[in-house]
Structure 1
Amino acid sequence: MRVFVTGASGWIGSAVVPELLGAGHQVAGLARSERSAERLRAAGAEPFAGNLDDLEALHAAASAADAVVHLGFKHDFSDYAASGATERAVMEIFLDALDGTGKPLLFASGIAMVAPGRISTEDDVSPYSGPDAPRGGVEPLAFGAAARGIRPVALRFAPTVHGAGDHGFAAVLAGIAREKGVAGYVGEGTNRWPAVHRSDAARLVRLALADPEASPVVHAVAEEGNPTRKFAEAIGAAVGVPVASIDPGDADAHFGWIGAFFASDIPASSALTRARLGWEPTGPTLFDDLAAGHYSAAAAA
């Protein structure tokens, strides 16, 4: 298949592209810059110049493809509503481009707050709908279009997609620990965060594309839920700072924008994903990567 990938040069996308190419697909990757285009060419993919605001170009690229894998997202937590509005506009363009074609549309989503306080599963329906919802409420929007001859697959990634070179949430927390001189957790630190290695997440995207009907929702989760106190202890050991509980009332001041998120209890199962797609994570655990020093370097950068 010819697959159009947004976020193709990003953290997850740059691992997904080789997986798709290795499976025999042709890949056209959205490239915001010449640097991104060069990375895609080096990987064996075709760069498609544009960005998530260029809706006309996105429509053309999706129309010319046999499948779309939408991994791009504007991670602007200073204006998350605007990020959500962009995401919804992009999804609407893809749905229009694929209308009536029967083509797969795989799109990045998240585990967070799907079923807070209990272990979420692939059968849980996203509670976020409407244009003002987080990520633009695109999960219900996409599944509502299934009757239009589109095959949507929600790729719910763990909040921590880790590995060497990661500059995501785990690296942010390591950076805060270095800056504050303490690796903190909120309250008792019993709330849980799922995790998955980048290589396992990329392989799952390939499997989901190969059989989009097998599991309309997939959970890219290798570790169901690491207690955040244990997470903080591993960060402290990696960065070389003590570990301490942060009062919930002080979480925002200590952690900044990630405070409320890090205080959330968001465990998730991937049992249905594994059964439906034959996926078994084989990569290092989050604690393996922390012990390997990947986040010590990220925090210092």
Structure 2
Amino acid sequence: MRVFITGASGWIGSAVTDEVLGAGHQVTGLARSDASAAALEAKGADVQRGDLDDLASLRAGAAGADAVIHLANKHDFGNQAVSNKAERGAVQALGDALAGSGRTFVIASGMAGRGIGPIGLEVDASPFHGPDAPRGGSENLALDYVAKGVRTVISRFAPTVHGVGDTGFMKVLTEIARDKGFSAYVADGANRWPAVHRSDAARLVRLGLENAEPGAILHAIGQEGVASRTIAEAIGAGLSLPVRSIEAADAVGHFGWIGGFFAMDIPASSAQTQASLGWTPTGPTLEEDLAGRWYFDS
């Protein structure tokens, strides 16, 4: 297949690009900078210049592909409305370009804020609808395209996609601890975060691209839930800092924008995903990655 990938040079996307190319597919990656374009070309991928606001470029990339993997997101946590609007516009542009073709549309989604049950399952529908919802309601919007002749596949990623090179939530929490002089967790620290190693997440996206049923919801979850206190203690050990509890009311004041996320209890299962695709996470656990030095020495 020729696969158009947005976010192809990002943290998850670069691993997905390698995985898809390694499976013998051709890749065209969306690139907004010369550096991203050069990185993609060095891997053997073609380049489509543009970004999430360039809807014409998105449509052109989709039109020339057998399948689309949409991983890019602005992640503007200081102005979520901007991110939500861009995400919805991109999904609609890509979906419209694929409508009626039977081609595949794999899109990234998330776990945070779902608020459904004691443990999130693949059968749980997203509660987010409409342009003002988190991620612009893009998961449900993409699933609407199944009825329009698109093979939509949803990949819900754990909030922590970890590994060497990670600049996401774990790295942010590490730098906050370094700055504050102690590693913190909220209340009793029993709230849980799912986690997945980057290599496992990339392999799941490729398997979903090749084998998932239309309308499938996949969970890129290697660990159902790691207690936030366990995370804080690992960061404290890595930085040789004390570990403390803070009150829930102080979470945003202490952690900034990530405080609301780090206080969430959002365990999630990938049992159905593993059974349907024969996917078994094999990468290091979050605790194993935090026991290494990359998060603390880089």
Q: TM-score range by the shorter chain?
A: over 0.9
Alignment match, 1:79: 79
Aligned 8 A contact 2:151 2:214 in 1: no
Identity of matched residues, %:
59
Q: Deviations over 1:83-116 (max 9, x none)?
A: 0000000011011100100001001100122245
Shift of 1:152: 0.8
Shift of 1:293: 1.1
Q: CA RMSD in A?
A: 1.0
| Matched residue SS, 1:253 | helix
Q: CA–CA distance in 2 between the matches of 1:223 and 1:149?
A: 34
Alignment match, 2:283: 283
Q: Deviations over 1:239-290 (max 9, x none)?
A: 2211000111111110000101100000000000000000001101111111
Aligned 8 A contact 1:108 1:157 in 2: yes
Runs of 5+ unmatched residues, structure 1: none
Letter of the 1:62 counterpart? A
Kindly tell me: are residues 140 and 214 of structure 1, through their superposed partners in 2, closer, same or farther at Cα, counting changes over 3 Å?
A: closer
Aligned 8 A contact 1:122 1:218 in 2: yes
| Matched residue SS, 2:244 | strand
Aligned 8 A contact 1:116 1:264 in 2: no
Structure 1 stretches of at least 4 aligned residues deviating more than 4 Å after TM superposition: none
Q: Deviations over 1:63-97 (max 9, x none)?
A: 11000000000011110111000000001101110
Q: CA–CA distance in 2 between the matches of 1:214 and 1:245?
A: 44
Shift of 1:4: 0.1
Of residues 116-125 and 50-59 in structure 1, the stretch that sits farther from structure 2 once superposed is 116-125
Q: TM-score, normalised by structure 2?
A: 0.98
Q: CA–CA distance in 1 between the matches of 2:72 and 2:211?
A: 22
Q: CA–CA distance in 2 between the matches of 1:241 and 1:68?
A: 44
Shift of 1:297: 2.6
Aligned 8 A contact 2:31 2:49 in 1: yes
Alignment match, 2:171: 171
Q: Deviations over 1:124-159 (max 9, x none)?
A: 000011100000001111111211100111110000
Aligned 8 A contact 1:177 1:184 in 2: yes
Runs of 5+ unmatched residues, structure 2: none
| Matched residue SS, 1:106 | strand
Letter of the 2:169 counterpart? F
Alignment match, 2:157: 157
Determine whether 1:34 maps to 2:38. Answer: no
Alignment match, 1:142: 142
Alignment match, 1:67: 67
Letter of the 1:100 counterpart? G
Shift of 1:22: 1.1
Alignment match, 1:195: 195
Alignment of 1:217-236 (within 5 A): 217-236=217-236
Determine whether 1:49 maps to 2:57. Answer: no
Letter of the 1:36 counterpart? S
| Matched residue SS, 1:12 | helix
Shift of 1:222: 0.4
Q: CA–CA distance in 1 between the matches of 2:258 and 2:36?
A: 28
Q: CA–CA distance in 1 between the matches of 2:59 and 2:214?
A: 26
Aligned 8 A contact 1:9 1:40 in 2: yes
Kindly tell me: are residues 72 and 272 of structure 1, through their superposed partners in 2, closer, same or farther at Cα, counting changes over 3 Å?
A: same
Aligned 8 A contact 1:115 1:124 in 2: no
Determine whether 1:58 maps to 2:66. Answer: no
Q: CA–CA distance in 2 between the matches of 1:99 and 1:169?
A: 35
Q: CA–CA distance in 1 between the matches of 2:139 and 2:199?
A: 24
Q: CA–CA distance in 1 between the matches of 2:153 and 2:254?
A: 37
Aligned 8 A contact 1:159 1:169 in 2: yes
Shift of 1:294: 1.7
Letter of the 1:39 counterpart? A
Q: CA–CA distance in 2 between the matches of 1:264 and 1:58?
A: 34
